[in-house]
Amino acid sequence: MDIIDTFVVGMMGYAMPQQYTKGIHIRLRARAFVFGHGDTRVAFVSSDICFITQAVKQTVVERLKKIYGPTMYTEENVMLSGTHTHAGPGGYSWHPLYDISTFGFHDQNFEAIVNGIVNAIQMAHKTAVMGQLSYKSGTLMDSNANRSPSAYLANPPEERAQYEHNTDKEFTVLELTGSGQGFPVGTIGWFAVHGTSMNNTNMYISGDNKGYASYLLEKEMKALDKQRGVKYVAAVAQSNEGDVTPNTRGAFCDNGMPCEVAHSTCGGWSEGCHGYGPGKTDFESTKIIGEHQYTAVKTTRDKGGLTPLSGDIRYMHVWIDMENTTVTPEFSGVGKAAKTCVGALGDSFAAGTTDGPGEFNFVQGTNTSANWYWNWLTSKILAAPTTEDISCHAPKPILFMTGRILFPGKWTQGIIPLQVFKVGQFWIVGVPGEFSTMAGRRLRNKVRQAIVNAGGWTSDSHLVIAGLTNSYTHYITTREEYSYQRYEGASTMFGPFTLNAYEMLYTDLASRIVKGLTPPTSAKPENISSAIFYLQPAVTPDQVPSGLKFGDVAKDANPSYKRGDNVEVLFWAGNPRNNLRIEGTFLDVMKKNSDGTWTVVANDGDWDTKYWFDYVANGGNARIQWEIPSTTVPGTYKIVHYGDYKTGNKAIIQYIGSTREFTVA
Ligand code: ZN
């Protein structure tokens, strides 16, 4: 089968056209929290998605305004953050760069994302109760590592000496407790680590380590949800994970030797240098790093001693032209004014990282244009940097002058949304990209100091960075890290003073919030929704071999299994793109009750099940796997498959199939 026939939707994250969705391991979720005080409210959503795009944020807000009127939920008080999973379907940006490896924009996925987030906010809105917010932070070890340690070392020694580690080990838990109920109705945890436990050969949709951590927190409350009449929602959200990998064993070459450190290469090439997780497989690594985050949140919450939040809720949002921002001497770090640059990605962007190395002859840590051929080619075909661009971005060798590529629309965003929430004494700084560890520390310190200076910081105040929020601008490193031009530095789009500009802008927002001032003047956001392009074929009509029908078993279950066994069955199936079964499932694992009725014990959102679709001769097969957990109650089980097929005249017809009954001992 060639790529077009089996093609479902390209995944977002590793930018590899050959990595597309073939199945589901755990479903992607949007988790929404609405906080209100008096007449003011804010909504925070953490979504299992690589990053939020301007397209998603703007469309979500438009739909919310249709439902709740023009003032309840707006771009100013709704903050959307992505968990940065690299195992989700892509094609949901209006900016063309992000739709290239997915063969264009994908309406169906875009709608699934937007509707998922809108529904999550509606659920939070509907089920809101009076209650108390409180927070606590703690330390989580053995769950993240720096994937560009040589760039981190470029930061001043006296600054590094203030920190024990080259990644942030701190995590923060924000807890929502219903008043008079005494139990949590929601929890948000923030911890900085990439969603790259699943590697770039994976084709299962997965929330990666954070999706799994959130799933575990919610799963253990499920039984109580019914009694309590409230659905508990838990999100383990993203923070400043720019240079932070979950692949904690380190980066090795295929021969088992460590990679060359400064450039992450093996024999001079990036391709062979891969980061390895704590587990033997990427599923196992996802599980381990997910469980660590789950345990950190759970034990912090259960131990108690959280600091209650009090005081009012405030928020501020502004659109900034990040391609034309002047950084004042106070923030530039060079004693005079400095400027941001028109968006561009450097050579090392194409080298990728040890989480997902790139192709061709690019290596990280390049600040001379060693790839003159590619630089010449992209500037001839796409857009050439001006001499001003070249000196503005120096020492970055410019590979893609994305801010000047205008076909079929501006490739990357230049007008950027910045947002800050104050919920009592708890501050959430929403950033439009991936801050490196040290960049995040500097931003937190500067914003905290601005709040102190404005008289708004109390001894129990706390501040977190919410990563990959509202739009995507790749990476933000310190200027020292930038000089190393590793992947993160090469992907710092607006030049060496990008972080300094953000420090200036966010401190301004925070001090305005404390002082009760109006927001600064906003730029006008880019409207490029007309630039989207489609290159993907529609789903072709489904078929089954003659004499069979959809839902028939192609490979049945064995009569009996033991706990720990893997059940693997096949059904004749339609393409899952016919109906994504949102808030539903492609499968149920069911247990027979003593009265002959059936109870669902797992569906396609669960860790123990896997769903996979593939074309075979004369039709399509759904492969369903169930790894029988050791906790399974012995008894009689069956696996049911739900699907939809497309007829020759494009009608979509539902079907159901079931395996034989089998026993688990
Ligand atoms: Zn990333």
pLDDT tens per residue across span 440-476: 999 999 999 999 999 999 999 999 999 999 999 999 9
What is the amino acid identity at position 637?
Y
The set of residues, in sequence order, having a beta carbon less than 8 Å from that of 566 and lying 6+ positions away, is 625, 626, 627, 628
Amino acid 655: pLDDT: 98
Q: What are phi and psi of 468, to 5 degrees?
A: 55, 50
Find the 146 Cα to ligand 1 centroid distance in Å: 12
Q: What are the pLDDT digits (tens) for 134-144?
A: 999 999 999 99
Find the 380 Cα to ligand 1 centroid distance in Å: 28
Find the 439 Cα to ligand 1 centroid distance in Å: 14
Find the 195 Cα to ligand 1 centroid distance in Å: 8
Find the 237 Cα to ligand 1 centroid distance in Å: 14
Residue 180 predicted with pLDDT over 80: no
Find the 434 Cα to ligand 1 centroid distance in Å: 6
CA distances from 164 to 142, 161, 287, 437, 614 (A): 14, 7, 27, 12, 49
Of residues 318 and 179, the one with the higher pLDDT is 318
> What pLDDT band is residue 361 in, cutting at 50, 70 and 90?
low
Find the 540 Cα to ligand 1 centroid distance in Å: 34
Find the 281 Cα to ligand 1 centroid distance in Å: 20
Minimum mean pLDDT among 258-267, 388-397, 526-535, 541-550: which range? 526-535
Q: What is the mean pLDDT of residues 176-189?
A: 88
Q: Residue 225: which H helix or E strand, with range?
A: helix 208-228
Minimum mean pLDDT among 196-200, 371-375, 590-594, 653-657: which range? 371-375
Find the 460 Cα to ligand 1 centroid distance in Å: 32
Amino acid 475: pLDDT: 98
Of residues 383 and 58, the one with the higher pLDDT is 58
* Strand ranges for 564-658 from DSSP E: 566-572, 587-592, 598-603, 609-616, 619-627, 635-646, 652-658
Find the 157 Cα to ligand 1 centroid distance in Å: 26
As a whole-number percent, the residues of the chain with pLDDT over 90 amount to 82
Amino acid 7: pLDDT: 45
On whether the pTM is more than 0.75, the answer is yes
Find the 320 Cα to ligand 1 centroid distance in Å: 22
Find the 351 Cα to ligand 1 centroid distance in Å: 13
Q: Residue 415: which H helix or E strand, with range?
A: strand 415-423
Find the 579 Cα to ligand 1 centroid distance in Å: 30
Residue 367 predicted with pLDDT over 70: no
Find the 572 Cα to ligand 1 centroid distance in Å: 38
Six token digits for residue 567: 């059940």
Residues 66 and 53: their CA atoms lie apart, in Å, by 20
Minimum mean pLDDT among 1-10, 189-198, 564-573, 655-664: which range? 1-10
- 3-state SS of the chain: helix, strand, coil percent to 5? 25, 30, 45
Find the 487 Cα to ligand 1 centroid distance in Å: 10
Find the 84 Cα to ligand 1 centroid distance in Å: 7
Residue 372 predicted with pLDDT over 70: no
Residues 638 and 660: their CA atoms lie apart, in Å, by 6
Residue 3 predicted with pLDDT over 90: no
Find the 180 Cα to ligand 1 centroid distance in Å: 41
Six token digits for residue 276: 């390895």
Amino acid 368: pLDDT: 61
Q: What are the pLDDT digits (tens) for 320-334?
A: 999 999 999 999 999
Q: What is the DSSP letter of 605?
A: T
User: What is the DSSP secondary-structure string of 247-262?
Assistant: -TTEEE-TTSPBPBTT
Q: What is the mean pLDDT of residues 368-374?
A: 63
Amino acid 171: pLDDT: 97
Residue 535 predicted with pLDDT over 90: no
Find the 285 Cα to ligand 1 centroid distance in Å: 17
Find the 513 Cα to ligand 1 centroid distance in Å: 30
Residue 539 predicted with pLDDT over 90: no
Q: What is the mean pLDDT of residues 203-210?
A: 97
Helices (H), 352-436: 372-381, 387-393
Amino acid 359: pLDDT: 63
Domain-wise residue ranges, the chain: 2-310, 553-664
> What pLDDT band is residue 5 in, cutting at 50, 70 and 90?
very low
Find the 194 Cα to ligand 1 centroid distance in Å: 6
Find the 159 Cα to ligand 1 centroid distance in Å: 24
Find the 222 Cα to ligand 1 centroid distance in Å: 32
Q: What is the mean pLDDT of residues 618-640?
A: 97
Residue 276 predicted with pLDDT over 50: yes
Residue 478, SS3 per DSSP: coil
Residue 6 predicted with pLDDT over 60: no
Q: Place domain 553-664 in its CATH homologous superfamily.
A: Neutral/alkaline non-lysosomal ceramidase, C-terminal domain (2.60.40.2300)
Q: Residue 664: which H helix or E strand, with range?
A: strand 662-664
Find the 427 Cα to ligand 1 centroid distance in Å: 24
Find the 555 Cα to ligand 1 centroid distance in Å: 40
Amino acid 423: pLDDT: 98
As a whole-number percent, the residues of the chain with pLDDT over 70 amount to 97
Find the 50 Cα to ligand 1 centroid distance in Å: 8
Six token digits for residue 86: 């690299």
Residues 542 and 399: their CA atoms lie apart, in Å, by 43
Amino acid 534: pLDDT: 79
Residue 271 predicted with pLDDT over 90: no
Find the 38 Cα to ligand 1 centroid distance in Å: 38
Q: What is the mean pLDDT of residues 239-243?
A: 98
Angle between helices 54-68 and 107-126 (to 10 degrees): 50
Residue 393 predicted with pLDDT over 80: yes
CA dihedral 462, 137, 208, 563 (to 10 degrees): -150
What is the rounded average pLDDT for all residues in the chain?
A: 93
Distance spanning both ends of the chain, measured CA to CA: 39
Residues 575 and 644: their CA atoms lie apart, in Å, by 7
The set of residues, in sequence order, having a beta carbon less than 8 Å from that of 622 and lying 6+ positions away, is 570, 571, 573, 576, 586, 587, 611, 612, 613, 641, 643
> What pLDDT band is residue 371 in, cutting at 50, 70 and 90?
low
Residues 612 and 571: their CA atoms lie apart, in Å, by 10
Residue 360 predicted with pLDDT over 70: no
CA dihedral 439, 440, 444, 450 (to 10 degrees): 40
Residue 596 predicted with pLDDT over 80: yes
Find the 481 Cα to ligand 1 centroid distance in Å: 16
Find the 470 Cα to ligand 1 centroid distance in Å: 15
Find the 193 Cα to ligand 1 centroid distance in Å: 9
Cβ count near 540 (within 10 Å):
12
Find the 158 Cα to ligand 1 centroid distance in Å: 27
> What pLDDT band is residue 352 in, cutting at 50, 70 and 90?
confident
Find the 607 Cα to ligand 1 centroid distance in Å: 24
Residue 4 predicted with pLDDT over 60: no
64 half-sphere exposure, CB direction, 13 A CA radius: 27
Q: What are the pLDDT digits (tens) for 75-113?
A: 999 999 999 999 999 999 999 889 888 888 999 999 999
> What pLDDT band is residue 614 in, cutting at 50, 70 and 90?
very high
Residue 341 predicted with pLDDT over 60: yes
Find the 199 Cα to ligand 1 centroid distance in Å: 13
Find the 433 Cα to ligand 1 centroid distance in Å: 9
Cβ count near 107 (within 10 Å):
13
Find the 154 Cα to ligand 1 centroid distance in Å: 20
Find the 81 Cα to ligand 1 centroid distance in Å: 13
Find the 251 Cα to ligand 1 centroid distance in Å: 16
Residue 537 predicted with pLDDT over 80: no
Six token digits for residue 163: 């920190």
Q: What are phi and psi of 36, to 5 degrees?
A: -130, 150
